[in-house]
Amino acid sequence: MTFPADPEITTIDAATFLAVTGTGLPGTEKFYARKAKLIAAAERLGHDSPVEGLYWFDPEHGDVDIAGFYWTVPLEHLRWRLLMRVPDDTELPPDLAASGLSLFPYSEGKVVQVTHYGPFAGEDDAGPPRYFRRCSRPAPQRTPSRDLF
C-alpha cells in the first residue's frame, strides 16, 4: 500500500447513493455478498459508479482516531455502509428496498483526503498509523472514514 507525502484538503458535495450496510471486517464472505448485491442492483437501475464505503465504530467504543483504528476496538465491531452514486432523482423499487438496500443522501463538506493504493488487508501494515502520527495533534474520528473499493 502506498500513500502520498501529504494529505489534501478538499470539499465533497452532497450526493445520493444506493447503499447497503453491515458489520464486521471487510473482506469476508458476508461483505463480498453485500457488495455483489449492491452492484447488481445498481446495474439493474442503469447506474455504474465505483463502489465506495463508509466505516466507523459506534459511540460506545469512544473516539477512535485513524492512528488507532486497527488496535483500539476489535474489528468485529466495525460498522460499514457500501455505496454507489446514483442520480438524486433515483427511485428505489420496493423489492430492492425489501432486500436491505436503501437510498442514502450524504454530504461531507470539507474533508482531509488521503488517496492510497493497495488492498485493505495491507492498510494496517503500510500506512495510516505511521502516516498520521506525523500530525501534531490528531483529531478524534467523529465521522465515518470513506474509501473506494
Q: Specify if 71 maps to a domain.
A: yes
Q: Specify if 2 maps to a domain.
A: no
Task: State pLDDT tens for residues 79-91.
Answer: 889 999 999 999 9
DSSP 3-state of 146:
strand
pLDDT at 100 over 70: yes
pLDDT band of residue 144 (cuts 50, 70, 90) is: low
Q: Specify if 38 maps to a domain.
A: yes
Q: How many domains does the chain have?
A: 1
User: Does residue 4 or residue 74 have the better pLDDT?
Assistant: 74
Q: What is the mean pLDDT of residues 11-33?
A: 92
Q: Report the CATH number at residue 23.
A: 3.20.80.10
Of 21-30, 82-91, 99-108, 115-124, least confident by mean pLDDT is 115-124
Q: Specify if 3 maps to a domain.
A: no
Other beta carbons within 10 angstroms of residue 110's beta carbon come to 8
Residues 6+ apart with CB under 8 A from 68: 129
**pLDDT of 134:** 44
pLDDT band of residue 26 (cuts 50, 70, 90) is: confident
pLDDT at 129 over 50: no
Of 24-28, 55-59, 79-83, least confident by mean pLDDT is 55-59
Q: Specify if 1 maps to a domain.
A: no
Average pLDDT over the chain reads: 79
Q: Specify if 37 maps to a domain.
A: yes
**pLDDT of 11:** 86
Least Cα distance to 103 among 74, 81, 131, 126 occurs for: 81
pTM: 0.75
**pLDDT of 136:** 40
- What is the domain range of residue 39? 8-148
Q: How far apart are CA 115 and CA 127, in angstroms?
A: 11
